[in-house]
């Protein structure tokens, strides 16, 4: 336990010294190896190569590339127009459209930042024009953006499945119901706000308008259909689906919508490669520290110690949720998954938790960290998108943040919310 405390403590000290996360992870792992398990430098290099030699990792740059194409292209606007045409007759129809557009776009791009930048840029001016309170508009948009982490395809889910040695497909399917639950509760929050504030519903444009919106968004709607049907019927692996989806996005944006040029496609590919490289560096650094923890048998030591003092599974689940929420506030989700998964997964199994259920708790909890003050990454993105002060963003996010925390506890204590669909499809 002292070794584990030293390793995590050293990591936190380096992070609070504002050393980049990937370098903090590398240094923590390297120092621990040198002090407590001296090995040649070549061995550490071999550990990195072995851990990164994983086929599923290839999906990450293609999903990022797909998200970048969708941000630059026309698909996002057409999807937003379709969602708004459906929900416009409701009070609070516009913020409900924002929530569901973020869910739909997140299901394609898998990126929270891309979701906030794209959907926020489209819907925020409309919310202002319809005289929604600015604080409410900013809060609901920022909160809805982390649906890109929860609703598959999701890069954090790929990372968890790779580290945990479980099926990526099962983890993806497990994220669907929690994602839908988030969309429903945030939509109810938006509807209740519209009722309380006596917000006038937008005039219904008629079935003909809705039909035209469906027609305009038809090619874009095929994209999530290709992803989900291809993955869950076994036609594609997750990696193959990411490539097919990116190729399809290139075709519709360059040849059908003609919103993106082939020259821009090359630039977006380079940007995606750079971003993917930063994620892989973080993964590699976390793997170094994680390998030290595993080689020293620290997870089993943690299991023995924890079970000696905590006998009830519900207490362990509560402590896990609190731990995830705290760590998610100051540590990047990729690094947090790479460090905590090998440490906590054996412990969760000892308490009878399914690894897939545990992975959804981690991904959702760390995703909430993206909108938790004072270090949530999406809060700073919201500052750039909305041009509001950081303190204003923090106050705006609080009601939706409480909704997310409630959902996290529901998912943690009701396993069928994440396990029912995987059991139906794969068992």
The 3 state secondary structure assigned to the chain is CHHHHHHHHHHHHHHHCCCCHHHHHHHHHHHHHHHHCCCCHHHHHHHHHHHHCCHHHHHHHHHHHHHHHHHHCCHHHHHHHHHHHHHCCCCCHHHHHHHHHHHHHHHHHCCHHHHHHHHHHHHHHHHHHCCCCHHHHHHHHHHHCCHHHHCCCCHHHHHHHHHHCCCHHHHHHHCHHHHHHHHHHHHHHHHHHHHHCCCCCCCCCCHHHHHHHHHHHHHHHHHHHHHHHHHHCCCCCHHHHHHHHHHHHHHHHHHHCCCCCHHHHHHHHHHHHHHHHHHHHHHHHHHHHHHHHHHCCHHHHHHHHHHHHCCCHHHHHHHHHHHHHHHHCCCCHHHHHHHHHHHHHHHHHHCCCCHHHHHHHHHHHHHHHCCCCCCCHHHHHHHHHHCCCHHHHHHHHHHHHHHHHHHHHHHHHCCHHHHHHHHHHHC
Query: For 30-66, what is each residue's pLDDT tens digit?
Result: 888 888 877 777 777 777 777 777 777 888 888 888 8
pLDDT for res 206: 65
More confident residue, 209 or 6: 6
Under the banding of pLDDT at 50, 70 and 90, the label for residue 199 is low
Share of the chain above pLDDT 90, in %: 14
pLDDT for res 271: 86
Q: Is residue 104's pLDDT more than 90?
A: no
Distance CA 360, CA 356 (A): 6
Q: What is the mean pLDDT of residues 2-16?
A: 79
Q: Is residue 2's pLDDT more than 80?
A: no
Query: For 376-399, what is each residue's pLDDT tens digit?
Result: 878 888 888 888 888 899 899 999
Instruction: Check: pTM over 0.85? Answer yes or no.
Output: yes
Distance CA 322, CA 80 (A): 35
Q: What is the mean pLDDT of residues 250-267?
A: 88
Under the banding of pLDDT at 50, 70 and 90, the label for residue 205 is low
pLDDT for res 382: 86
pLDDT for res 186: 92
More confident residue, 311 or 348: 348
As a whole number, the mean pLDDT across the chain is 83
pLDDT for res 203: 61
Lowest mean per-residue pLDDT among 196-200, 247-251, 307-311, 381-385: 196-200
Max mean pLDDT range (28-32, 142-146, 190-194): 142-146
């Amino acid at each position: 336990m002292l070794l584990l405390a030293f390793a995590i403590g050293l990591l936190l000290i380096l992070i609070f010294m504002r050393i980049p996360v990937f370098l903090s992870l590398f240094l923590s792992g390297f120092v621990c190896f040198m002090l407590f398990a001296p090995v040649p430098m070549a061995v550490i290099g071999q550990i990195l190569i072995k851990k990164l030699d994983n086929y599923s990792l290839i999906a990450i740059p293609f999903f990022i590339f797909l998200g970048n194409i969708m941000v630059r292209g026309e698909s996002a606007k057409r999807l937003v127009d379709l969602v708004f045409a459906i929900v416009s007759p409701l009070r609070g129809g516009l913020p409900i459209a924002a929530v569901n557009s973020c869910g739909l776009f997140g299901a394609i791009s898998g990126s929270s930042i891309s979701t906030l930048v794209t959907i926020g840029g489209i819907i925020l001016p409309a919310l202002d024009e319809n005289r929604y309170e600015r604080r409410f508009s900013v809060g609901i948009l920022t909160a809805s953006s982390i649906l890109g982490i929860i609703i598959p395809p999701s890069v954090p889910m790929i990372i968890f499945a790779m580290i945990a040695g479980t099926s990526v497909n099962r983890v993806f399917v497990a994220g669907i119901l929690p994602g839908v639950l988030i969309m429903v509760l945030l939509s109810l929050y938006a509807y209740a706000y519209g009722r309380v504030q006596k917000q006038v519903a937008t005039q219904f444009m008629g079935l003909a308008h809705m039909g035209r919106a469906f027609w305009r968004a038809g090619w874009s709607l095929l994209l999530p259909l290709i992803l989900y049907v291809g993955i869950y019927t076994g036609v594609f692996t997750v990696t193959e689906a990411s490539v097919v989806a990116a190729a399809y996005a290139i075709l519709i944006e360059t040849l059908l919508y003609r919103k993106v040029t082939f020259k821009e496609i090359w630039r977006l590919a380079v940007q995606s490669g750079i971003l993917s490289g930063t994620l892989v560096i973080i993964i590699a650094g976390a793997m170094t520290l994680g390998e030290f923890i595993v080689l020293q048998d620290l997870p089993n030591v943690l299991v023995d110690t924890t079970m000696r003092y905590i006998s009830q599974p519900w207490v362990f689940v509560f402590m896990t949720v609190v731990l995830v929420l705290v760590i998610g506030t100051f540590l990047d989700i990729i690094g947090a998954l790479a460090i905590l998964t090998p440490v906590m997964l054996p412990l969760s199994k000892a308490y009878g938790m399914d690894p897939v259920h545990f992975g959804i708790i981690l991904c959702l909890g760390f995703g909430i960290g993206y909108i938790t003050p004072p270090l949530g990454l999406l809060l700073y993105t919201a500052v750039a998108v909305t041009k509001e002060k950081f303190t204003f963003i923090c106050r705006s996010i609080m009601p939706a943040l409480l909704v997310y925390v409630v959902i996290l506890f529901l998912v943690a204590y009701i396993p069928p919310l994440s396990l029912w669909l995987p059991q139906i499809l794969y068992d």
